[in-house]
Structure 1
Amino acid sequence: MDINIHYAFLPHTDPDAALAFYRDTLGFEVRNDVGYNGMRWITVGPPGQPTSVVLHPPAADPGITDDERKVIAEMMAKGTFGALTLATKDLDGVFDRLQASGAEVVQEPTDQPYGVRDCAFRDPSGNLIRINQLN
């Protein structure tokens, strides 16, 4: 079977802040930026890789009630709603760049007991971004 991950979705609370983080800080390329009814869907991804992340307004999901929107907003603010794991050959360099940009540090580069070396940040919307060291 030949299946690839094409899109992953993360909510955003501020499209301009999300764009600045993923494009300017992480170096992702913008693949699409679509507005509709005052909302924006921004598709970004690492240059040269086919997988994309769609940054979307959480309120646009069909069938979401007002109570559910409130819970989603609360979870996003705590950093417990969306998450993404990235990987790099230069974890310390990426960590330094993100920290210098003012990104919220959750965990400095650490050798985990389960064999992974990684660090963690929150994006401007509170999504947890873990970054693993590639060997």
Structure 2
Amino acid sequence: MIRIAMTSVYVDDEEKAHVFYRDVLGFETRTDLDLGGARFITVAAPGQDVELLLEPGDSPLAQQYRAGLRAAGLPCLVLGVDDLRAEYERLGGLGVRFTQAPTKQGPLLTAVLDDTVGNLVQLAQPAA
């Protein structure tokens, strides 16, 4: 069986991303290694195996990719939530900036936030 073990998101600042994904979104730190000039940081949702690598986004390819997504208003990552409206209120109370308020999109209720390190992230919940 093949399964997703890790995926990555390009970030402007690894430490700032680590703080946001850990302290604001509630992910756990799984790996934090100093590689001498760079860090290898992974986080994951509690109880889940899939890790998110907070990857430096300073390469020309990463910059072009991220700029294109942002210009199109597209999220680089979709995170599932059980109660989107509650998360929207909780995160808004923590100062998180949303570019899209909760909106029904077909079978989903979605919202889009700015992760403070160069990306848009979509929160999604199956619509009732």
Partner of 1:3: 2
Q: Is the 8 A contact 2:84 2:102 kept in 1?
A: yes
Spell out structure 1 runs of 4+ moving beyond 2 A. Answer: 67-82
* Percent of pairs with identical residues: 31
The corresponding residue for 1:34 is 33
Q: How does 1:44-55 map to 2 (within 5 A)?
A: 44-55=43-54
| Amino acid of the structure 2 residue aligned with 1:115 | P
Q: Which amino acid aligns with 1:92?
A: R
- The answer for the alignment partner of 1:127 in structure 2 is 119
> 1:106 is matched with which residue?
99
Residue of structure 1 in register with 2:19 after alignment: 20
**Residues 68 and 50 of structure 1: is their aligned pair in 2 closer, same or farther, counting only changes over 3 Å?**
closer
Aligned to 2:83: 90
- For the 8 Å contact 1:79–1:127, the answer to whether it is kept is no
Aligned pair count reads 127
CA RMSD of aligned residues (A): 2.4
Contact 2:69 2:76 in 1 (8 A): no
Contact 1:10/1:83, CA 8 A, preserved across alignment = yes
**Distance 1:40-1:55 versus aligned 2 partners, 3 A rule:** same
Higher Rg of the two aligned structures: 1
Q: Structure 2, unaligned stretches of length 5 or more?
A: none
Q: Distance in 2 between matches of 1:81 and 1:41?
A: 26
